[in-house]
């Protein structure tokens, strides 16, 4: 059996001692990422009963699980991921690659022409470790998510997306500001400090792009 690298050993040690990992296990949540979403959503009271929420890059399902709990029996939660995701009660899951038109069409059909109140995107590409490769892949997914919100998010709706700081980041945030009345960049407590990830919360979708 191959021995683990020092970096993977360090990650495992950090992971098992991580207070958010321990909390997720204790509370029966699927991932520690749920506490990123909880902080981001509760600060601005983004969730209301009856909302239609689309969760892009949903697996393993922590965000969808938490949103479903918060909404109770009302509204819809539609989750999509290229990875398989074990079923969650009250969550509609679509399995497929968000970059493919056929998968987008299935998601659009599922919406049945009804607008979305909140779009969540925690999508990230498989990392190669080479920034010149990883950043364009990440930005491409981010642009697809913004296009989806352009088409399906209701006027005055909100869009929350994970972004990675690097080439293309500033331009992307500028594009968000053309589309939304308020854009905030946040780093929740559950986001590991050394990670280049941040979250952009865009609220108040404009009727027309500025």
Give domain 37-205's CATH superfamily.
Vaccinia Virus protein VP39 (3.40.50.150)
Active site residue 162: yes
pLDDT at 7: 53
Backbone angles phi, psi at 54, to 5 degrees: -110, 130
Identify the active-site residue in 36, 162, 187, 193.
162
Residue numbers in the known binding site for S-adenosyl-L-methionine are 61, 63, 81, 97, 122
Report the pLDDT value the prediction gives residue 1, as an integer from 0 to 100.
42
Instruction: Supply the pLDDT for residue 8.
Output: 55
- Specify whether the CB–CB gap between 146 and 121 falls below 8 A: no
**What are the E-state strand segments in the chain?**
52-56, 76-81, 91-95, 116-121, 153-164, 180-186, 197-205
Q: Where are the domains of the chain?
A: 37-205
Residue ranges of the annotated binding site are: 61, 63, 81, 97, 122
Coil, helix or strand at residue 78:
strand
Please answer whether residues 148 and 56 qualify as being in contact, where contact means their C-beta atoms are separated by less than 8 angstroms.
yes
Q: Give me the pLDDT at residue 36, please.
A: 86
Q: How far apart are CA 193 and CA 112, in angstroms?
A: 40
Whole-prediction pTM: 0.86
Per-residue tens of pLDDT for the chain, all 210 residues: 444 565 555 544 554 566 656 665 666 565 767 888 889 888 888 999 999 999 999 999 999 999 999 999 999 999 999 999 999 999 999 999 988 999 999 999 999 999 999 999 999 888 777 887 889 999 999 999 999 999 999 999 999 999 999 999 999 999 999 999 999 999 988 777 777 899 999 999 999 999
């Amino acid at each position: 059996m191959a021995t683990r690298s020092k970096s993977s050993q360090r990650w495992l040690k950090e992971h098992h001692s991580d207070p958010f990992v321990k909390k997720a296990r204790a509370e029966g949540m699927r991932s520690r990422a749920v506490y990123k979403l909880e902080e981001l959503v509760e600060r601005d009271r983004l969730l209301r009963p009856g909302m239609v929420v689309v969760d892009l890059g949903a697996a393993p399902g922590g965000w969808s699980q938490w949103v479903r709990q918060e909404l109770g029996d009302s509204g819809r939660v539609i989750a999509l991921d290229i990875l398989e995701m074990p079923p969650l009660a009250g969550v509609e899951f679509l399995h497929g690659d968000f970059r493919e038109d056929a998968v987008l069409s299935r998601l659009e059909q599922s919406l049945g022409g009804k607008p979305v109140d909140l779009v969540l995107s925690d999508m990230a590409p498989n990392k190669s470790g080479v920034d010149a490769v990883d950043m364009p892949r990440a930005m491409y997914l981010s642009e697809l998510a913004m296009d989806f919100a352009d088409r399906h998010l209701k006027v005055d709706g909100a869009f929350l997306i994970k972004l990675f700081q690097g080439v293309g980041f500033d331009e992307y945030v500028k594009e968000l500001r053309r589309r939304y009345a308020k854009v905030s960049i946040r780093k929740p407590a559950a986001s590991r400090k050394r990670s280049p990830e941040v979250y952009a919360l865009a609220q108040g979708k404009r009727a027309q792009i500025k």
